[in-house]
Structure 1
Amino acid sequence: MKSLYRGLGIASVSVVLVGVAACGGESGSGEAEAAGAKLAVVATTPEVADFVRNVGGDDVAVTQIIKPNVDPHDYEPTPADIKAIGEAKVVVKNGVGLEEWLDRTIESAGFQGAVVDSSQGVTLREGGHDHGHEEGEEEHAEEEAGEEHDPHIWHNPQNAKIMVTNIEKGLAAADPGRADAFASNLAAYGKELDKLDADNEDAFAKLPAADRKLVTNHDAFGYYVDRYKLEFVGSVIPSLDTSAELSAKQLTDLVAKIKATGTKAIFTESSLPPKTAESIAQQAGVKVVGGEDALFGDSLGEPGTPEGTYLGAEKHNTEVIVAALAG
């Protein structure tokens, strides 16, 4: 992953950070603490932000750092991000090492509130699909070990339920007067997550096991693959993040594996360019699924669309995958 300060002079960045942090420290004790004011929350990723909105409802004001279709593995915070963090009462992150930039940004912003790690309690997958572990073997690891684990935890709705429970606890601790409302919202949203999970299971139950083979842009769907008993054949980018590149041998091997396994399609992702996936699909003689049907691997859709929510994006993914593999 790329450095937080890539392409910028350290001295000039430090001046910006110090100035913004000072502004944040002053506003944090002002309007946000007024009676009846919404709880100011910064959420890092689109998925986490959507979870906060569902649990917090009208009682929270959410600032989402990473916008739709922006690669979270290659993100660099802006002065506006630092200002928002400095003014917030709560920062909610995905965790598992996804936000490498966050700790340094929090320090620079002079943030004095609570940080909620939504991944706490999630059983983590080790990096790569060839290093799975038995159920219950691996509980949440310390943050410093995050890079060894798959951070795309939200692709299993059962993990999403753990994430929103952590978020509810964090919001209630920061604003006890609204704890009942947060708990009620959590209960209602939990039912929607259960329905999503059940609908996904029903959809894949109609797909023969021999057809449940998945090739994607990068290795983002491990928890989804495990949950719905798919076979991960490979990815265009051979990594959990998006910084790696496919070597000539890996490309040849992936094409051969696609042919040997009878995989029917390669799925592109909304936040990644499709060119390499299209090239591999052409060589392998399979269709490439992209455009409006691209999967939401690291992101959600645009605000105001069904896919702009976690529930809508995951429903989209399942519908697209099942339709393409059943064809």
Structure 2
Amino acid sequence: MKHRPRIFWIAAAAAAATVLAGCGSGDGDAVQANSAASGGTPLAVVATTPEVADFVRNIGGSDVSVTQIIKPNVDPHDFEPTPADIQAIASAKVVVKSGVGLEEWLDRAIEASGFKGPVVDSSQGVKLREGGHHEEEGEEHAEEEGEEHAEEHDPHIWHNPRNAKIMVTNIEKGLAAADSARAGAFAKNLDTYATQIDKLDADNEAAFAKLPAADRKLVTNHDAFGYYVDRYQLEFVGSVIPSLDTSAELSARQLSDLVAKIRSTGTKAIFTESSLPPKTAEAIAKQAGVKVIGGEDALFGDSLGEPGTPEGTYLGAERHNTEVIVSALGG
């Protein structure tokens, strides 16, 4: 992922220092922490992405108050936090991130906010993809930091439900460490939610088992579904944006090569994504003579649906993705 300069940081940091002075670690924090431990005030948690925020809500239940930074259908690869986001971080007791370099902006936002509390990296322990193949890192991943790490690995880890289970387990541990009085409730919620993730995984597997292997060919807006492709034994033909990030663009040569590959492999469709414009995908689909899947059927690659809809949850968005893919490729 490319590192983009953020001009707002100078002003944001100054505003944070002036407006938020003392918010990060004053006596008020100890009062709120004691109140939370006694069962009064919910634990204040900032979660970066829609997926991570949904995980925190499921594990924390009514014992947490979640502020979600990135809203639905916003591209996380090109996100810039606002002063309000920095204020939310300053007021939090725990910050939870997706990890693997997805939130390039977060370290600077934390520094600007003065936040000194725990940051839970939900990706710890996940086996990461690197350049289209697996790199099994295990515990070493927990120690890796910095932009080099972000450049090398695929951050879209939640698209494999088995990874999602690791993520929610990390979140449960982080919440329990921050509020030990509620650890039992968090553990119970984890057991319930992990069972639901297992069912999602089994349902996805059963759905793809009905689809002939020759039809399991995927073309998407950008390379966001590598973990999903690997988990359900699909064939990734290519992407409209030839990158794990969304800032790259197809060259004329790459465009013609993708069209040729779609035709030669017998790929049936191109899938657009909810957080990305569909125009280029539509143009490529027209050239290749295949259907484009978009609108209400667009996949949730980097985001979830609107709050209050089934797709506004991780489980609902992943079910939607599988239903759309299987229906389009099986038709």
Class of the TM-score when normalised by the shorter of the 2 chains: over 0.9
Separation of aligned partners in 2, 1:271 and 1:11: 28
Tell which deviates more after alignment, 209-218 or 30-39: 30-39
The equivalent of 2:245 in structure 1 is 241
In structure 1, stretches of 5+ residues that fail to align are none
**In structure 2, what is the equivalent of residue 21 of structure 1?**
20
Question: Quick check: 1:63 aligned with 2:64?
Answer: no
Instruction: Tell me the amino acid that sits aligned with residue 257 of structure 2.
Output: D
Instruction: Indicate whether 1:275 and 2:279 are aligned.
Output: yes
Alpha-carbon separation, structure 2, partners of 1:238 and 1:74: 16
SS in 1 for 2:128: coil
CA-based RMSD = 1.7
Q: Aligned with 1:143: secondary structure?
A: coil
One-letter identity of the residue aligned with 1:21: L
Superposition TM-score, scaled by structure 2 size: 0.93
Query: What is the percentage of aligned positions where both structures have the same residue?
Result: 77
Provide the C-alpha distance between the structure 1 equivalents of 2:287 and 2:17, rounded to a whole number of angstroms: 52
Distance 1:189 1:253 in 2: 43
In terms of mean alpha carbon deviation, does 24-33 or 210-219 score higher?
A: 24-33
1:135-284 equivalences in 2 (<5 Å): 140=141, 142-144=144-146, 145-284=149-288
The separation in 2 between residues aligned to 1:138 and 1:181, in whole angstroms, is: 27
Of residues 171-180 and 14-23 in structure 1, the stretch that sits farther from structure 2 once superposed is 14-23
Paired residue type of 2:96: V
Give TM-score scaled by structure 1 length.
0.94
Offset at 1:143? 2.3
SS at match of 1:304: coil
CA positional deviation for 1:5: 1.9
Deviations 1:226-268 (A, max 9, x none): 0000000000000001010111100000000000000000000
**Alpha-carbon distance in 2 for matches of 1:124, 1:20:** 39
Counterpart in 2 of 1:133? Answer: 134
How far residue 33 of structure 1 moved from its aligned partner, in angstroms, is: 4.4
Find the residue that maps to 1:316 and give its secondary structure.
Answer: helix
Taking structure 1 as reference, are residues 195 and 61 closer, same or farther at Cα in structure 2, changes over 3 Å only?
A: same
For the residues of structure 1 that align with 2:20 and 2:94, how far apart are their CA atoms?
16
Judging changes above 3 Å, is the alpha-carbon distance between structure 1 residues 29 and 137 closer, same or farther for their aligned structure 2 residues? closer
Question: What letter corresponds to residue 196 of structure 2 in structure 1?
Answer: E
Which residue in the other structure is 2:6 paired with?
A: 5
Give the AA of the match of 1:120.
Q
Once the two structures are TM-superposed, the CA of residue 219 in structure 1 deviates from its matched residue by: 0.2
| Pair 1:46 & 2:50 matched | yes
Residues 149-192 of structure 1, C-alpha deviations (whole Å, 9 max, x = no match): 00000000000000000000000000000000000000000000
1:4 and 1:86 map into 2 onto residues whose CA distance is 22
The residue identity in structure 2 corresponding to 1:15 is A
> Which residue in 1 is equivalent to 2:291?
287
Query: Cα deviation per residue 1:296-326 (whole Å; 9 max; x = unaligned)?
Result: 0000000000000000000000000000000
Distance 1:195 1:152 in 2: 20
Distance in 2 between residues matched to 1:244 and 1:50, nearest whole Å: 29
User: How many residue pairs were aligned?
Assistant: 322
Q: 1:11 to 1:271 in 2, by over 3 A?
A: closer
1:122 aligned residue = 126
CA distance in 2, matches of 1:138, 1:285: 46
Measure how far apart 1:13 and its partner are. 3.5
CA contact (8 A) 2:53 2:66 kept: yes
